Amino acid sequence: MSKSFIIVGTDTNVGKTVLSSLLMAVHDDLCYWKPIQSGLEEETDSQVLQRLSECKKERIYPEAYRLQRPLSPHLSARLDGIRIEKDRLSLPQKENIIVETAGGVHVPINESTLQIDLIKMWSLPVIIATRSSLGTINHTLLTIEALRNREVEIAGVVMIGDMNEENEKAIEFYGKVKVSGRVPFVEELQKKILIQIYTDLFQ
């Protein structure tokens, strides 16, 4: 049975890479793919994931696009003098792969493609990474609505940050979706801590 998922966030820097790292640390048969990497000055998301999950490099597929500036993909690509082409973004495989998107569902990829168009094309269940803090209900419900309008399967929501029981209840009630886990803020993340978080806080 395939364990493939797309990890999409409700906002920038919400914690998609940490969530992807957690899943890679727990499931040693998973592979990871970040199709579009915007920003190369610091660690890339693939490098962060390998460091946190301690997975072998062979489990990480190379990015289809590596863009210099940490901006929306359409703008970062334009400043690099290229255009992101949808036909270069086919899945490397469909069995046991985590695909981490570049930003949220309505982030532009080029002048005619949004991130959600790629999500629909990949045809995998989506896990939504969202903040636990104030504002998350609106952001999460908007993301859920957008995905459902495209008939994309939602596998669950993962809250990232300090425990907020009321926000979790509201997302489950109004979004008709399961909050399947929570990732608290940790000063120094490492593989054994990610595995413990999964054991303690995921269903």
Active site residues: 34
Strand partners, 182: 159
Residue with tokens 């959600």: 116
| Spatial CA neighbour of 116 closest among 147, 139, 85 | 147
Q: Which of 66, 61, 43, 65 is nearest to 4 (CA)?
A: 61
Residue 29 burial (C-beta neighbours within 10 Å; 0-12, 13-18, 19+): exposed
> Using the 8-state DSSP alphabet, how is residue 202 labeled?
B
